[in-house]
């Protein structure tokens, strides 16, 4: 068997090259016996103190390492780039593709037969899955797990979600700055990623729903001993997967993506999952379109009552039984395909067969769901978004889902922030805030700025929501009636670039439309007069990004990264 393994091209080599490959590794104290042809397993860790959600992943790597040794493999931990959502500017999303490139190349360039991917914060999970799909070596993901529930003054507070709430309380004068400082520490009180159903929790669930991590793996809190137990299990399992040659191309099928989209609807997952799943599908050579998300999610009720749409947090979801319970309920209702194979080697139905619901308040049933089918994330089209736009209905206000109002337009989010506290701002609760220049190319990087806080004038008057339309993204922890990912973005001349203050816009979510009430002749005149903004990027990574990033409706990957490039052993280095 050893001869057919990739790693044998390095560690099984004779002569000078083999000596080099083995000798330098032995400076770490590995005995000669580890080069006997056993599977070499890379443990890719995105641990970083600059990505606080991933800061503990070295401990998770230790647990994986144990599992690999115990199963007869040779584990080698290596660091990858890390994209921390909370610190990186202009946005971690600018670097998702860079991280995906880096992880892909590291796996291919090294003597690995399989890989365990350790991720956590929002973008690190899709970046690693994109890489794994392109390399197509056996791969298991272990996400780092959510933080413990935030606790402030006897109440559960959710990461992200309560940042927006506290900001509103502060602006409305109901909370002091001192109280806010104190609450900061209460919100993030353990290792782990955001513990709301934000993008990190969503993508952890997506990795599990796609079949790329072990059942139950998405929800164990980062500090729970069972997080490390399941990491050890993943280490054992990857060794078997190498023997079985179970690769992402067998797991990441069209059916698996359909299942993941349905699970995303059932958990009330982040809108960002749409972009990331499209990008992963692009790597896995699976045809998937934006419209599929609406069509597949429409029949699925939201079962999980988690912030930002609901009340609970990831710890509660975990103790209720976690994602397998949701999958099992969807299977029972005929809403999930039982067949797609997971990293367990079994089909989904067998993977989650034993799941039991320990708290029906947190995980509701398809018979009496938290929110009925058809109220999940909707895909809108119309003359304002010919390539599509999305809105998370469960995080929106029902009375605004059908709404016509006058646009108040800002070319940049900074332009809005400069006036948002102005008591004389010409704005009513019916106004539609249009924020543009926040797309993949325009910002650049498509940041999570779309759910801007309401103007102070309205907040003080007790208004809690208004329609906002933007070509950027929204944090998965955010909420509000916010139309996101408007495509094409304004920076490439999408119709969003042509809206003027005072224009009427109609949002009609039940009919899935977004309409700028301006006649075609006038729009043609405006298009004629429109000039593309200068791209100030003349070199460096951001230049590469702005020249190659695609629009949100196909996943905002680089065009040249689509598809599988495989894991053929590269030419010798010496």
56: contact with ligand FES by CB under 6 A: no
Which are the contacts of 365, defined by CB distance < 8 A and separation ≥ 6?
Answer: 303, 329, 357
262: contact with ligand FES by CB under 6 A: no
The sheet carrying 40-45 orders its strands as: 74-79, 40-45, 114-119, 139-143
Q: Which residues of the chain form contacts with Mg ion (CB under 5 A)? A: 85, 122, 199, 475
Q: How far is the CB of 355 from ligand FES (least distance, A)?
A: 25
Site string for ligand FES, 151-180 (x = CB under 6 A): --------x---------------------
Q: How far is the CB of 397 from ligand FES (least distance, A)?
A: 24
Q: How far is the CB of 121 from ligand FES (least distance, A)?
A: 3
193: contact with ligand FES by CB under 6 A: yes
Task: State which of residues 137, 200, 325, 385 lies at the interface with ligand FES (CB under 6 A).
Answer: 200
CA distance 393 to 375: 6
Rank residues 203 and 432 by Cβ distance to ligand FES and give the closer one.
203
Residues between 96 and 135 that touch ligand FES (CB under 6 A) = 121-122
Could you tell me the two tokens for 166?
């506290």
Contact criterion met (CB below 8 Å) for 512 and 378: yes
Q: Mark the segment that binds ligand FES (CB under 6 A) among 190-198, 246-254, 314-322, 436-444.
A: 190-198
Rank residues 159 and 309 by Cβ distance to ligand FES and give the closer one.
159
86: contact with ligand FES by CB under 6 A: yes
Contact criterion met (CB below 8 Å) for 515 and 506: yes
Contact criterion met (CB below 8 Å) for 52 and 192: no
Q: Mark the segment that binds ligand FES (CB under 6 A) among 193-201, 316-324, 419-427, 446-454.
A: 193-201
Q: How far is the CB of 205 from ligand FES (least distance, A)?
A: 13
Tell me which DSSP letter residue 532 carries: P
Rank residues 122 and 489 by Cβ distance to ligand FES and give the closer one.
122
Closest CA to 404 of 328, 298, 534, 518: 518
Contact criterion met (CB below 8 Å) for 113 and 542: no
The single residue listed with the structure tokens 């090294």 is 110
The pairing of strands 155-157 and 139-143 is unpaired
Q: Mark the segment that binds ligand FES (CB under 6 A) among 16-24, 110-118, 177-185, 191-199.
A: 191-199
Could you tell me the two tokens for 326?
């949701």
104 binds, among ligand FES, Mg ion, none (CB under 5 to 8 A by kind): none
Which are the contacts of 530, defined by CB distance < 8 A and separation ≥ 6?
Answer: 493, 497, 498
3-state DSSP: the chain helix, strand, coil percent, rounded to 5?
Answer: 40, 15, 45
Q: Please report how the helices 290-297 and 272-283 are oriented relative to each other, as an axis angle in degrees rounded to 10.
A: 120
Rank residues 187 and 467 by Cβ distance to ligand FES and give the closer one.
187
Q: How far is the CB of 449 from Mg ion (least distance, A)?
A: 11
Rank residues 337 and 450 by Cβ distance to Mg ion and give the closer one.
450
Residues contacting ligand FES: total by CB under 6 A: 10
Q: Mark the segment that binds ligand FES (CB under 6 A) among 166-174, 194-202, 244-252, 528-536.
A: 194-202
Q: How far is the CB of 123 from Mg ion (least distance, A)?
A: 8
377 binds, among Mg ion, ligand FES, none (CB under 5 to 8 A by kind): none
CA distance 553 to 547: 17
198: contact with ligand FES by CB under 6 A: yes
Apex 64 CA angle, 54 and 107, nearest 5: 75
Could you tell me the two tokens for 270?
């982040």
53: contact with ligand FES by CB under 6 A: yes
How would you classify residue 468: left for phi > 0, otherwise alpha for psi between -120 and 50, otherwise beta?
A: beta
85: contact with ligand FES by CB under 6 A: yes
Could you tell me the two tokens for 161?
């979600």
Q: How far is the CB of 410 from ligand FES (least distance, A)?
A: 25
Contact criterion met (CB below 8 Å) for 429 and 463: yes
Interface contacts to ligand FES, rule CB under 6 A: 53, 85-86, 121-122, 159, 193-194, 198, 200
């Amino acid at each position: 068997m050893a001869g057919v393994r990739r790693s044998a091209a390095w560690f099984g080599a004779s002569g000078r090259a083999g000596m080099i490959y083995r000798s330098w590794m032995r400076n770490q104290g590995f005995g000669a016996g580890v080069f006997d042809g056993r599977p070499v397993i890379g443990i890719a860790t995105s641990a970083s103190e600059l990505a606080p959600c991933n800061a503990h992943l070295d401990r998770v790597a230790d647990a994986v390492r144990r599992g690999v040794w115990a199963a007869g493999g040779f584990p080698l931990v290596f660091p990858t780039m890390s994209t921390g959502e909370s610190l990186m500017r202009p946005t971690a999303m600018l670097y998702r593709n860079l991280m995906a490139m880096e992880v892909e190349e590291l796996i291919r360039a090294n003597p690995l037969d399989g890989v365990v991917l350790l991720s956590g914060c929002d973008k690190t999970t899709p970046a690693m899955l994109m890489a794994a799909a392109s390399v197509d070596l056996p791969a298991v993901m272990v996400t780092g797990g959510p933080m413990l529930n935030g606790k402030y003054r006897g109440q559960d507070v959710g990461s992200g979600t309560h940042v927006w709430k506290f900001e509103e309380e502060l602006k409305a004068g109901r909370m002091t700055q001192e109280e806010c400082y104190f609450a900061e520490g209460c919100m993030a009180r353990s290792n782990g990623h955001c513990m709301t159903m934000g993008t990190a929790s969503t993508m952890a669930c997506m990795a599990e729903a796609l079949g790329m991590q072990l059942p139950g793996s998405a929800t164990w809190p980062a500090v729970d001993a069972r997080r490390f137990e399941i990491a050890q299990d993943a280490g054992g399992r990857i060794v078997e997967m190498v023997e079985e040659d179970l690769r992402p191309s067998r797991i990441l099928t069209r059916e698996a993506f359909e299942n993941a989209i349905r699970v995303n609807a059932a958990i009330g997952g982040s809108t960002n999952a749409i972009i990331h799943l499209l990008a992963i599908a692009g790597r896995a050579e699976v045809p998937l379109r934006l419209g599929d998300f609406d069509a597949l999610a429409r029949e699925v009720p939201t079962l999980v009552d988690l912030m930002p749409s609901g009340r609970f947090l990831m710890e509660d979801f975990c103790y209720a039984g976690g994602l397998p319970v949701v999958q099992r309920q969807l299977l029972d209702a005929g809403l999930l395909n039982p067949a797609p194979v997971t990293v367990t080697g079994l089909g989904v139905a067998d993977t989650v067969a034993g799941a039991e619901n320990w708290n029906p308040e947190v995980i509701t049933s398809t018979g009496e769901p938290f929110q009925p089918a058809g109220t999940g994330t909707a895909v809108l089209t119309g003359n304002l978004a010919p390539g599509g736009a999305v809105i998370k209905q469960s995080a929106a206000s029902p009375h605004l889902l059908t709404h016509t109002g006058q646009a108040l337009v800002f070319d940049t989010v900074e332009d809005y922030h400069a006036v948002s506290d102005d008591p004389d701002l010409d704005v009513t609760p019916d106004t539609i805030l249009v924020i543009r220049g926040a797309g993949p190319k325009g910002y650049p990087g498509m940041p999570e700025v779309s759910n801007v806080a309401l103007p102070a004038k309205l907040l003080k008057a007790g208004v809690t929501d208004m329609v906002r339309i933007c070509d950027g993204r929204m944090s998965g922890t955010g909420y509000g009636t916010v139309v996101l990912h408007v495509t094409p973005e304004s920076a490439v001349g999408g119709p969003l670039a042509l809206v003027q203050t005072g224009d009427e816009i109609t949002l009609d979510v039940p009919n899935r439309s977004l309409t700028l009430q301006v006649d075609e002749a006038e729009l043609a005149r405006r298009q004629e007069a429109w000039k593309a903004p200068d791209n100030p990027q003349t070199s460096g990574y951001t230049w590469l990004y702005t020249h190659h990033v695609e629009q949100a409706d196909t996943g905002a990957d680089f065009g040249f990264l689509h598809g599988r490039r495989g894991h053929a052993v590269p030419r010798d280095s010496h």
